[in-house]
Amino acid sequence: MIEAVILDWAGTAVDYGCFAPVRAFVEAFAHFGVAVTMEETRAPMGMLKRDHIRAMLGMERIAQVWRTVHGRPATEEDVNAVYAQFEPKLFDILDGYAAPKPDLPDTVTALRAKGLKIGSTTGYTDAMMAIVVPRAAELGYAPDLWISPDSVGGKGRPYPYMIFENLKALGVTGVRRAVKVGDTVSDIREGVNAGVWSVGVIEGSSELGLSEAEFAALSEREREIACRRVEDTFRAAGADCVLRDLHPLPALLDTLNAKAD
């Protein structure tokens, strides 16, 4: 039987579209004369933010632009310099991006009614979560537990250690008795590497990269094409299941329990 659900934060539970870190990354790179695209910025989403910057600086186009602008390849010192710009920019806006996604409250109520524990992992640091967690609680969302990369020696996604800490703290009796839900490729890989059920959620995800208004403005065909693209990406990363939004999650758990019987 499934005993716990482990949710990601931005893009999965709060911050529809995962816009807070995107905005801060774009502004941080711009400070150094490097314009980055939304696609480039979102590709490593879900990782520890310093690792995210390192991954972006390793992208071929960004690496070339950095060399052109600065006359040399990016170094680890540059990772630290970009992060030094990124962090305060994110801190300035985080409390405005902690609102639960529309499908979260009813889903959490249904999960609680099943007696399930609700854990969470994140790419945010402890200092960032010190802003997000209380604000989300004020707005109605408070999981039983959250673990950041700071709690596992900086080894965030796609390492499985944040999930393992959740399983230990929540007293989950086996990896296949937990479900990890996320909105990025690194979320999916985190779940796969931990051996838990790994589930992707499409609407409001960083992978989809659209605000509520932008998604609503699409035609039905455009929505289906966009959602299919995200589903294919999650499946390729190893997702066991992909949901359009969080509402079907309680029913999915019933299906997983039936498979285990």
Taking only the tens place, the pLDDT of each residue in 112-151 is 999 999 999 999 999 999 999 999 999 999 999 999 999 9
For residue 143 the two structure tokens come to 């999981």
- The range of the structural domain enclosing residue 86 comes to 20-95
Asked which of 95, 120, 139 is the last residue of a domain, the reply is 95
Instruction: Identify the pLDDT of residue 143.
Output: 98
Find, among 220, 240, 222, 229, the residue nearest to 202 by Cα: 229
Residue 261 pLDDT level (bands cut at 50, 70, 90): low
Together in a domain, 216 and 251: yes
d(CA 96, CA 132): 9
Is 188 found in the same domain as 130? yes
Do 60 and 105 fall within a single domain?
no
pLDDT reading at 160 higher than 80: yes
Whether residues 53 and 8 fall in one domain: no
pLDDT at 260 exceeding the cut of 90: no
pLDDT at 231 over 70: yes
pLDDT for the residue 259: 82
Tell me the mean pLDDT in the region 2-7.
98
pLDDT value at residue 19: 94
How many structural domains does the chain have? 2
Q: What is the pTM of this model?
A: 0.91
CATH number at residue 34: 1.10.150.240
Three-point CA angle 169, 120, 18, nearest 5°: 165
8 is catalytic: yes
Average pLDDT over residues 209-225: 97
Catalytic residue among 49, 89, 117, 180: 49
Compute the distance between CA of residue 241 and CA of residue 94 in angstroms, rounded to an integer.
30
- Per the annotation, the verdict on 49 as an active-site residue is yes
* Average pLDDT along the chain: 96
- Return the percentage of the chain with pLDDT > 90, whole number: 98
Mean pLDDT for 12-26 is 96
